[in-house]
Each structure stands twice: as structure tokens, then as C-alpha cells.
Amino acid sequence: MESSEDDGEEPLSRIAEWRDVTPLPQDDGPNPVVPIAYKEKFRETILQKKKKEFRKTMNYFRTIYKADERSPRSLRLTRRVIHLNPGNYTVWHFRRFLLEALNSDLDDELDFVQRIANSNSKNYQLWHHRRWVVERLGTNARAKELHLIKSILSLDAKNYYARSHRQWVLQAVGGWEDELDYCRQLLEEYIFNNSAWNQRYFVETRSPFLGGLTAMRASEVRYSVEAILSIPNNECPWRYLLGLYKDDIESLVNNREVSSECLKVINTKNEYILALKMLLDLLCYGFQPCQEFGDAVVAPWTSDAHPLDPDLATTICDILEHVDSLRASYWIWRKNKLPVC
């Protein structure tokens, strides 16, 4: 186990075990471009001392890296360097080398990485390193991993790195059983969380414990519809609903539940832009609307000043051009392409 005695505060030049090492300075060469103003001169404040120590520490690392020294002190040094500079992939790589060479305790390694993650959760190298460790620990690490990611997501529900890692863990070592429920909790907390909607889709399509998308479709449609009715201007459940019919548009068009939900939202005359969009897509896919749809769409707009096109899809594009004016040019283009999507 690594010694916790090296807390990174004492300069390496003053630590006995490093006396035999000559730090290898970085040679920027002649005429370096974008030189970085490492603070090495001037009267030293605590902050300036730390920055000076950064460069010196890196020089020690370069020495042991070039010499390929696989020793406990090298391992301790990588810990110090990672604290200072968690973005340096060379250090992480060397640390993996050392962990193997020294047959280090990988459970402790997970704890170390977690401490780094507490202040650096958006760091690719950290997550890659964690995957390397978990691969070696196997299913024993599963619960700990999923728990860690949950705690990071509780602070930042859309952390892309954490979500990517979670998907990897599920596929590599399992833990699918509670995942759908976890997605449900996240969406209860915040229905606008697109990451959670995506994760839900991921589970539906890839979990070995569910029947696949087609088998789950009916219940997922109901789930999406509930979300839509509660907040109709939330993009996520609309896209999710469409996604449930990926590669099976005909079933979408024939599902009366979807079209009738569009109608419900349009009839509220409130937050109906996304419902109009969905209805437009359905029409492009071949949906044959009854008169009720036409009446609902035009109701807020009918007047002599705004004559509407008899074709419902064209009318919807005209309306969207006005109510979704940020995308007016797009709706005009869509109208000109009709009946194609």
C-alpha cells in the first residue's frame, strides 16, 4: 500500500529518498512557442512556491519515467504528480505500469481515484484509469462503481464522463437490475434531464433482463406520454417517444395513443409547439388525420386576416413559422419540401 506520509507538501528535494535523483528538466528548445509563465522567480508567496514546486515535481517524474524505475517511491511520486496535474496521461499510464509491477492493492486504487474525482470529475484520463482498475477487479467492483457514479451524478446530474463510465460498467460487469428504477428516480427529481432519458433508452435497448425495445414499447409509450402531459414543452419525452419507434415508423403512425396525445396538448392551446411538430412528423410519415385534428390546429388562428391552407401539414408549418420564430426559415423550408419529411 502506498504510504500516506507523502502528502505532497514537502518539496521532493528535501525528502531523503529522492537524494540520489537528479531531476530531468524539460528542454523547451530554442524559440518555444506559447511559452507558459511558470512562476520561478520573484518573491515567493505560498501560491508561487506551489507553482515552482509543480515544475520541479514534473522534472523528478521525467527522470524516473525515462529510467523506467518501477519502485514504491515512483508510485508515490505518480500520486503526487496526479494531484498536481490530473490531465497528464503519461503519468496515469506509468502509474498503471507500476501498479502491475508492484502488485498493488486495486481496491485502494479505486479509493485514490475517487479522491481525485472529487475535485476533477470532468477528466478523461481519470475515468479511463478507473476502467482499467475495474476490469481487473471484475464484478466485485460493480457495486462500488455504480455507487460512486451515483454520488457524482447527485452533484451533477448530467456529467457526461460519469454517465459514459456508468454505461461501460453496466456492459462490462453488469448491475442492470436496478438501472431502470434509478432512471425513474432521476426523472422524478428533474424531468428535463436528457441524460437520464438517454440512459433509460440505453437500458431498454441493451439490458439482458428486459425484452428489448419492442417488448417494452407499450409501457414506455405510456411513460413518455405522462411526462409530455405534465410538461408539454420538454423536448426529451417527445424525442424519446419517437425513438421508441426507430426503424418501425408504421407502428408509430398507427398508434392512436400517440396522435391523440398530440391532439390533447394542442387543445390546451398552451405549450403546444412540440405537439405541432410531432403531428407534422406523423403527417409526413403517412398519418391520416380526422377532422378533429384540423379543427384543433386551426382554432387559435382562424380569421379573415389569416387564411389557412387546406392542407393540414402546410398549415402547421405556417403556424410554426410564427410561434417558433427562432426557426422560421426552417419551417418555411419544411413546408416547401412537403409531403417529404
Partner 1 sequence: MATRDPLDFDVGVEEDEDGAPSPSSPLSYFERDRHVAFFGMLYDLMPYHYQSQEINRLTLAFFTISGLHLLKALDRVDKDRVASWVLSFRAHPINQAELKNGQFYGFHGSRMSQFPPDENGVSVCNAGHLASTYCALAILKTVGFNILTIDKESILISMRNLQQPDGSFMPVHLGAETDLRFVYCAAAICFMLEDWSGMDREKTKDYILNCQSYDGGFGLMPGLESHGGGTYCAVASLRLMGYIEDDLLSKNATSSIINVPLLLDWCMQRQAIDGGFQGRANKSSDTCYAFWVGAVLRILGGYKFIDKIALRGFLLTCQSEFGGFSKYPRELPDLYHSYYGCTAFSLLEEPGLNPLCAELGMTDLAALGIL
Active-site residue set: 122
The whole-angstrom separation of Cα 95 and Cα 102 is 10
Q: Which residue has the cell 508567496?
A: 45
Q: What's the CA gap between 5 and 237, in Å, rounded? A: 52
Taking residue 146's Cβ as centre, other Cβ atoms within 10 Å add up to 19
Piece of 124-132, 214-222, 289-297, 308-316 that binds partner 1 (CB under 8 A): 124-132
Task: Considering only the stretches 15-23, 71-79, 163-171, 293-301, report the one whose residues sit in contact with partner 1 under the rule CB under 8 A.
Answer: 163-171
Instruction: Give, as ranges, the residues between 101 and 120 that touch partner 1 (CB under 8 A).
Output: none
Q: How far apart are CA 63 and CA 18, in angstroms?
A: 11
> Can you tell me the distance from the alpha carbon of 196 to that of 135, in angstroms, rounded to the nearest whole number?
25
Task: Write the interaction track for partner 1 spanning residues 61-80; mark x where CB under 8 A is met and - where it is not.
Answer: -x--xx--------------
Provide Rg for the chain, Cα atoms: 29
Q: Restricting to residues 232-251, name those near partner 1 by CB under 8 A.
A: 234-236, 239-240, 242-244, 246
Q: Do 280 and 334 meet the contact criterion of CB atoms below 8 Å apart?
A: yes
Please list the residues that pair with 303 across neighbouring strands.
306
Scanning 9-17, 46-54, 142-150, 178-186 for contacts with partner 1 by CB under 8 A, the matching segment is 46-54
Return the residue of 201, 272, 287, 293 that touches partner 1, per CB under 8 A: 201
How many CB atoms neighbour CB 185 within 10 A?
Answer: 11
Q: Which of helix, strand or coil describes residue 85?
A: coil
Query: 7-31 in b/e burial notation, b at 16+ Cβ within 10 A?
Result: ebeeebeeeeebeebebbeeeeeee
Residue 56's nearest CA partner among 88, 31, 24, 27 is: 24
- Is residue 49 part of the contact set for partner 1 (CB under 8 A)? no
# chain residues binding partner 1, by CB under 8 A: 69
| Residue 39 sits in the site that holds partner 1 (CB under 8 A) | yes
Contact with partner 1 (CB under 8 A) among 4, 14, 29, 310: 29
Pick from 58, 99, 173, 313: which binds partner 1 (CB under 8 A)?
58
- Among the listed residues 35, 42, 256, 304, the single contact to partner 1 using CB under 8 A: 35
Site string for partner 1, 257-276 (x = CB under 8 A): --------------------
| Footprint on this chain of partner 1 (rule: CB under 8 A) | 24, 26-29, 31-39, 47, 51, 54-55, 58, 62, 65-66, 84-90, 93, 96, 122, 124-125, 127-128, 132, 158, 160, 163-164, 167, 192-195, 198-199, 201-202, 206, 234-236, 239-240, 242-244, 246, 277, 325-330, 333, 341
